């Protein structure tokens, strides 16, 4: 049994650097399993994240970052962040396929168990419904310290919400002892449906909100960059911190809903595995 520590974020691709995924082993059966090897892993995490209220917002809020994941040695997993799916690896190639959920976007500020959401600047834009999504990702380890990844997020329900496609790279610049530091960059593109849903303004929305009518094209959507640091407190406990930035591109940056094209993001959380 070989194990590779691959993280396939099943939160929306545009917030992958922000809402750090539970990083559990994606295991592939490549030979006889060790009798002492665990058949499953459970990871529980808790912390906080600094997020924007919506892509293009100039408002930030501190949101709870909570999660739990069960991963079986066969590769199947069930996660509050990654969804329900399968992940594995063979040689330098890693892969993941899962069902997840893309949350709704409110047209006003609301509060709930997950913290505050929505924005007064979306008033009149209507609510964007949440949707079940399919997530596919492929990664390739170029070296021991550099991995490349391609991924897509496709809506299964509320298909007018549109799809995202991303390219990314992660470089482990420090690994040894109790500390691991990873630098990551990514960029994504969106189809026309996604751009219209999250950055466009129809004539009806314009009449209600006061924003000018805007019909964005498919294309470049967002670039992200960040650095994460994980400190191993013990064999079971870890603390992880992350800081980074997101920048809207193309027509997403030109949208009348965009109040700030570049936004800082960050998170810190503690995780326990058993």
| Domains of the chain, earliest start first | 2-273 (2.40.160.40)
Contacts of 33 (CB under 8 A, 6+ apart): 1, 73
**Per-residue confidence (pLDDT) for residue 13, from 0 to 100:** 37
**Per-residue confidence (pLDDT) for residue 12, from 0 to 100:** 40
Contacts of 101 (CB under 8 A, 6+ apart): 83, 130, 131, 132, 133
Provide the whole-model pTM: 0.88
**Per-residue confidence (pLDDT) for residue 127, from 0 to 100:** 95
The residues of the chain scoring below 70 in pLDDT are 1-37, 112-116
Residue 183: which of 144, 225, 223 has the closest Cα? 225
**Per-residue confidence (pLDDT) for residue 19, from 0 to 100:** 38
Task: Write the pLDDT tens digit of every residue in 104-146.
Answer: 999 998 876 656 678 999 999 999 999 999 999 999 999 999 9
Residues 173, 132: Cα–Cα separation, whole Å: 35
């Amino acid at each position: 049994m070989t194990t590779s520590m691959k993280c396939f974020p099943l939160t929306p691709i545009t917030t992958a650097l922000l809402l750090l995924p539970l990083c559990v082993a994606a295991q592939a059966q490549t030979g006889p399993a060790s009798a002492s090897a665990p058949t499953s892993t459970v990871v529980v995490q808790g912390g906080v994240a600094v997020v924007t209220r919506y892509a293009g917002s100039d408002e930030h809020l501190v949101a709870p970052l909570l999660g739990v994941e069960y991963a079986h040695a066969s590769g199947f997993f069930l996660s509050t962040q990654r969804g329900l799916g399968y992940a594995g690896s063979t040689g330098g190639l890693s892969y993941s396929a899962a069902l997840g959920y893309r949350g709704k976007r409110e047209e006003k500020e609301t509060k709930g168990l997950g913290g505050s959401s929505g924005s007064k600047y979306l008033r009149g834009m209507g609510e964007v419904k949440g949707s079940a999504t399919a997530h596919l990702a492929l990664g390739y380890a170029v070296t021991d310290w550099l991995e490349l990844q391609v991924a897509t997020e496709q809506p299964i329900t509320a298909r007018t919400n549109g799809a995202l496609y991303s390219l990314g790279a992660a470089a482990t610049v420090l690994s040894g002892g109790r500390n691991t530091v990873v630098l990551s960059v990514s960029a994504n593109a969106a189809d026309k449906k996604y751009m219209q849903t999250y950055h466009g303004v129809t004539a009806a929305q314009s009449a209600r909100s006061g924003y000018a009518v805007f019909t964005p094209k498919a294309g470049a959507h967002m670039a992200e960059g960040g650095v994460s640091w994980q400190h191993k407190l013990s064999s079971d406990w870890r603390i992880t911190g992350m800081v980074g930035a997101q920048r809207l591109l193309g027509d997403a940056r030109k949208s009348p809903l965009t109040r700030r094209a570049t936004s800082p993001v960050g998170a810190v959380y503690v995780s326990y595995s058993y």
